Chain A
Amino acid sequence: GAGVSQSPRYKVAKRGQDVALRCDPISGHVSLFWYQQALGQGPEFLTYFQNEAQLDKSGLPSDRFFAERPEGSVSTLKIQRTQQEDSAVYLCASSFNRYPTAENEKLFFGSGTQLSVL
Protein backbone atom coordinates (compact mmCIF):
# COMPACT_ATOMS: atom_id res chain seq x y z
CA GLY A 1 0.00 0.00 0.00
CA ALA A 2 0.95 3.63 -0.26
CA GLY A 3 0.90 4.43 3.44
CA VAL A 4 1.83 3.03 6.83
CA SER A 5 -0.47 0.18 7.75
CA GLN A 6 -1.23 -0.90 11.30
CA SER A 7 -3.19 -3.90 12.52
CA PRO A 8 -5.41 -4.60 14.22
CA ARG A 9 -7.26 -1.31 14.19
CA TYR A 10 -8.88 -2.11 17.53
CA LYS A 11 -7.83 -4.58 20.21
CA VAL A 12 -9.63 -5.43 23.41
CA ALA A 13 -7.60 -7.39 25.93
CA LYS A 14 -8.30 -8.73 29.37
CA ARG A 15 -5.91 -7.59 32.04
CA GLY A 16 -2.92 -9.91 32.14
CA GLN A 17 -3.22 -10.95 28.49
CA ASP A 18 -0.34 -10.54 26.05
CA VAL A 19 -0.92 -8.52 22.87
CA ALA A 20 1.01 -7.98 19.63
CA LEU A 21 0.54 -4.92 17.43
CA ARG A 22 1.82 -4.90 13.87
CA CYS A 23 3.18 -2.08 11.73
CA ASP A 24 3.88 -2.23 7.98
CA PRO A 25 5.93 0.87 7.10
CA ILE A 26 6.18 2.45 3.69
CA SER A 27 8.41 0.32 1.49
CA GLY A 28 12.03 1.48 1.57
CA HIS A 29 11.68 3.59 4.70
CA VAL A 30 14.72 3.21 6.90
CA SER A 31 13.40 4.69 10.13
CA LEU A 32 10.49 3.38 12.16
CA PHE A 33 9.00 4.83 15.31
CA TRP A 34 6.42 3.70 17.84
CA TYR A 35 4.39 6.23 19.81
CA GLN A 36 1.76 5.89 22.53
CA GLN A 37 -1.15 8.31 22.67
CA ALA A 38 -3.39 8.51 25.71
CA LEU A 39 -6.84 10.06 25.37
CA GLY A 40 -6.63 13.83 24.99
CA GLN A 41 -2.84 13.87 24.94
CA GLY A 42 -0.23 14.21 22.25
CA PRO A 43 1.74 11.16 21.09
CA GLU A 44 4.62 10.11 23.32
CA PHE A 45 7.74 8.45 21.97
CA LEU A 46 8.30 4.77 22.76
CA THR A 47 11.09 3.46 20.55
CA TYR A 48 13.01 3.95 17.30
CA PHE A 49 14.48 1.56 14.71
CA GLN A 50 16.95 2.27 11.96
CA ASN A 51 16.49 -0.72 9.66
CA GLU A 52 16.57 -3.72 12.02
CA ALA A 53 18.58 -1.98 14.75
CA GLN A 54 16.68 -0.65 17.74
CA LEU A 55 18.64 2.51 18.46
CA ASP A 56 16.47 4.05 21.13
CA LYS A 57 14.05 2.34 23.48
CA SER A 58 14.13 4.95 26.18
CA GLY A 59 10.40 5.63 25.97
CA LEU A 60 9.22 2.09 26.66
CA PRO A 61 7.39 2.41 29.98
CA SER A 62 8.35 -0.97 31.45
CA ASP A 63 9.98 -4.28 30.65
CA ARG A 64 6.53 -5.56 29.69
CA PHE A 65 6.90 -3.62 26.44
CA PHE A 66 9.04 -5.10 23.69
CA ALA A 67 9.48 -4.10 20.05
CA GLU A 68 11.22 -5.78 17.15
CA ARG A 69 11.88 -5.27 13.45
CA PRO A 70 13.87 -8.37 12.53
CA GLU A 71 14.19 -7.84 8.76
CA GLY A 72 14.17 -4.08 8.72
CA SER A 73 10.63 -3.73 7.42
CA VAL A 74 7.60 -4.94 9.42
CA SER A 75 7.68 -4.18 13.13
CA THR A 76 5.80 -5.65 16.06
CA LEU A 77 5.15 -4.03 19.42
CA LYS A 78 4.43 -6.60 22.08
CA ILE A 79 2.93 -5.88 25.47
CA GLN A 80 3.04 -8.64 28.04
CA ARG A 81 0.66 -8.98 30.98
CA THR A 82 -1.37 -5.95 29.92
CA GLN A 83 -2.58 -3.50 32.56
CA GLN A 84 -5.41 -0.98 32.41
CA GLU A 85 -2.91 1.87 32.20
CA ASP A 86 -1.71 0.41 28.88
CA SER A 87 -5.01 1.42 27.27
CA ALA A 88 -4.11 3.94 24.55
CA VAL A 89 -3.69 4.36 20.82
CA TYR A 90 -0.37 2.97 19.60
CA LEU A 91 0.94 4.80 16.56
CA CYS A 92 3.63 3.68 14.17
CA ALA A 93 5.50 6.09 11.90
CA SER A 94 8.15 5.63 9.25
CA SER A 95 10.58 7.92 7.48
CA PHE A 96 12.97 7.65 4.58
CA ASN A 97 15.65 9.52 6.52
CA ARG A 98 18.42 8.14 8.61
CA TYR A 99 19.03 9.94 11.88
CA PRO A 100 20.14 12.24 13.31
CA THR A 101 19.04 14.92 10.88
CA ALA A 102 16.02 17.13 10.91
CA GLU A 103 16.57 19.12 7.75
CA ASN A 104 14.29 17.25 5.39
CA GLU A 105 12.74 14.60 7.54
CA LYS A 106 9.07 13.89 7.36
CA LEU A 107 7.27 11.24 9.37
CA PHE A 108 4.43 9.23 7.91
CA PHE A 109 2.04 7.86 10.53
CA GLY A 110 -0.38 4.98 10.42
CA SER A 111 -3.91 5.31 11.81
CA GLY A 112 -2.91 3.47 14.97
CA THR A 113 -4.14 0.55 17.01
CA GLN A 114 -6.57 1.44 19.78
CA LEU A 115 -5.88 -0.88 22.70
CA SER A 116 -8.45 -1.23 25.47
CA VAL A 117 -7.51 -3.29 28.51
CA LEU A 118 -10.45 -4.41 30.63
Chain B
Amino acid sequence: DAKTTQPNSMESNEEEPVHLPCNHSTISGTDYIHWYRQLPSQGPEYVIHGLTSNVNNRMASLAIAEDRKSSTLILHRATLRDAAVYYCILRPITSGTYKYIFGTGTRLKVLA
Protein backbone atom coordinates (compact mmCIF):
# COMPACT_ATOMS: atom_id res chain seq x y z
CA ASP B 1 0.00 0.00 0.00
CA ALA B 2 1.24 3.47 -0.86
CA LYS B 3 2.14 5.50 2.22
CA THR B 4 1.45 9.07 3.24
CA THR B 5 3.61 11.37 5.36
CA GLN B 6 2.14 14.20 7.43
CA PRO B 7 3.58 16.56 10.06
CA ASN B 8 2.75 15.43 13.56
CA SER B 9 1.25 18.75 14.60
CA MET B 10 0.42 22.25 13.40
CA GLU B 11 -0.95 25.42 14.94
CA SER B 12 -3.15 28.08 13.50
CA ASN B 13 -4.81 31.25 14.70
CA GLU B 14 -8.57 31.40 14.66
CA GLU B 15 -10.13 32.79 11.48
CA GLU B 16 -6.90 32.38 9.52
CA PRO B 17 -6.40 29.90 6.67
CA VAL B 18 -4.72 26.58 7.40
CA HIS B 19 -2.76 24.51 4.92
CA LEU B 20 -2.26 20.89 5.97
CA PRO B 21 0.32 19.10 3.80
CA CYS B 22 0.52 15.45 2.86
CA ASN B 23 3.30 13.73 0.94
CA HIS B 24 2.55 10.58 -1.03
CA SER B 25 5.50 10.10 -3.35
CA THR B 26 4.63 6.46 -4.16
CA ILE B 27 1.05 7.19 -5.20
CA SER B 28 -0.22 5.24 -8.19
CA GLY B 29 -2.39 6.53 -10.99
CA THR B 30 -5.52 4.90 -9.58
CA ASP B 31 -5.15 6.05 -5.97
CA TYR B 32 -7.72 8.51 -4.67
CA ILE B 33 -6.61 10.95 -1.97
CA HIS B 34 -9.03 11.01 0.95
CA TRP B 35 -9.00 13.26 4.01
CA TYR B 36 -10.72 12.49 7.28
CA ARG B 37 -10.58 14.33 10.56
CA GLN B 38 -11.15 13.15 14.11
CA LEU B 39 -12.48 15.54 16.70
CA PRO B 40 -11.76 14.75 20.36
CA SER B 41 -13.69 11.76 21.67
CA GLN B 42 -15.34 11.12 18.31
CA GLY B 43 -14.85 8.81 15.38
CA PRO B 44 -13.25 10.11 12.20
CA GLU B 45 -15.41 12.08 9.79
CA TYR B 46 -15.06 12.47 6.05
CA VAL B 47 -13.71 15.81 4.87
CA ILE B 48 -12.96 15.60 1.16
CA HIS B 49 -11.40 13.45 -1.54
CA GLY B 50 -10.00 13.82 -5.05
CA LEU B 51 -8.04 12.14 -7.82
CA THR B 52 -6.27 14.71 -9.97
CA SER B 53 -8.12 18.02 -9.98
CA ASN B 54 -8.50 20.38 -7.06
CA VAL B 55 -11.74 19.90 -5.14
CA ASN B 56 -13.88 22.22 -3.05
CA ASN B 57 -16.72 21.51 -0.69
CA ARG B 58 -18.38 23.29 2.21
CA MET B 59 -15.80 22.04 4.68
CA ALA B 60 -12.52 22.50 2.87
CA SER B 61 -10.53 22.56 -0.35
CA LEU B 62 -8.11 19.94 -1.61
CA ALA B 63 -5.18 21.06 -3.72
CA ILE B 64 -3.39 18.24 -5.55
CA ALA B 65 0.08 18.74 -7.00
CA GLU B 66 0.45 18.27 -10.74
CA ASP B 67 2.62 15.17 -10.24
CA ARG B 68 0.22 13.95 -7.52
CA LYS B 69 3.09 13.26 -5.15
CA SER B 70 1.68 15.66 -2.60
CA SER B 71 -1.58 17.34 -1.65
CA THR B 72 -2.77 20.05 0.70
CA LEU B 73 -5.97 20.29 2.67
CA ILE B 74 -7.02 23.91 3.00
CA LEU B 75 -9.32 25.19 5.71
CA HIS B 76 -10.17 28.71 4.59
CA ARG B 77 -10.97 30.15 8.01
CA ALA B 78 -10.04 27.99 10.96
CA THR B 79 -12.39 27.94 13.91
CA LEU B 80 -11.93 26.43 17.35
CA ARG B 81 -14.19 23.59 16.20
CA ASP B 82 -11.62 22.63 13.56
CA ALA B 83 -9.16 21.49 16.23
CA ALA B 84 -8.75 17.81 15.39
CA VAL B 85 -6.41 15.16 14.02
CA TYR B 86 -6.42 15.24 10.21
CA TYR B 87 -5.66 12.06 8.27
CA CYS B 88 -4.55 11.87 4.65
CA ILE B 89 -5.32 8.44 3.17
CA LEU B 90 -4.75 6.85 -0.22
CA ARG B 91 -7.52 4.62 -1.55
CA PRO B 92 -6.98 2.49 -4.66
CA ILE B 93 -9.98 2.76 -6.94
CA THR B 94 -10.18 -0.95 -7.59
CA SER B 95 -7.76 -3.05 -5.65
CA GLY B 96 -9.95 -5.42 -3.74
CA THR B 97 -8.76 -3.95 -0.49
CA TYR B 98 -11.18 -2.76 2.13
CA LYS B 99 -8.64 -1.15 4.37
CA TYR B 100 -8.17 2.51 5.04
CA ILE B 101 -4.62 3.03 6.33
CA PHE B 102 -4.88 6.03 8.61
CA GLY B 103 -1.36 6.63 9.88
CA THR B 104 -0.93 9.02 12.82
CA GLY B 105 -2.21 12.16 11.09
CA THR B 106 -1.62 15.85 11.87
CA ARG B 107 -2.93 17.25 15.12
CA LEU B 108 -4.22 20.76 14.43
CA LYS B 109 -4.37 23.21 17.29
CA VAL B 110 -6.40 26.38 16.75
CA LEU B 111 -5.52 29.35 18.91
CA ALA B 112 -8.19 31.84 19.93
Query: Which 5 pairs of residues, A with B, have the shortest CB-CB distance?
Result: A109-B43, A42-B102, A102-B91, A48-B98, A45-B99
Binds B, one of A12-20, A62-70, A71-79, A93-101: A93-101
Q: Does B11 contact A (CB under 8 A)?
A: no
Q: Which residues of A contact B (CB under 8 A)?
A: 4, 31, 33, 40-45, 48, 55-56, 59, 91-93, 99-103, 105-112
Interface of A is mostly: loop
Q: Which residues of B contact A (CB under 8 A)?
A: 32, 34, 36, 41-46, 49, 85, 87, 91-105
Contact A107 B94 (CB under 8 A): no
Per a CB cutoff under 8 Å, which of A4, A41, A44 touches B43? A4
Inside 8 A of B96's CB, which chain A residues have their CB? 99-100
Contact B98 A112 (CB under 8 A): no
Contact B104 A41 (CB under 8 A): yes
Contact B94 A42 (CB under 8 A): no
The CA of A88 and the CA of B93, in the complex, are separated in Å by 30
Contact A43 B98 (CB under 8 A): no
Contact B87 A102 (CB under 8 A): no
Given A42-B102, A42-B104, A45-B98, A102–B93 Cβ distance below 8 Å? yes
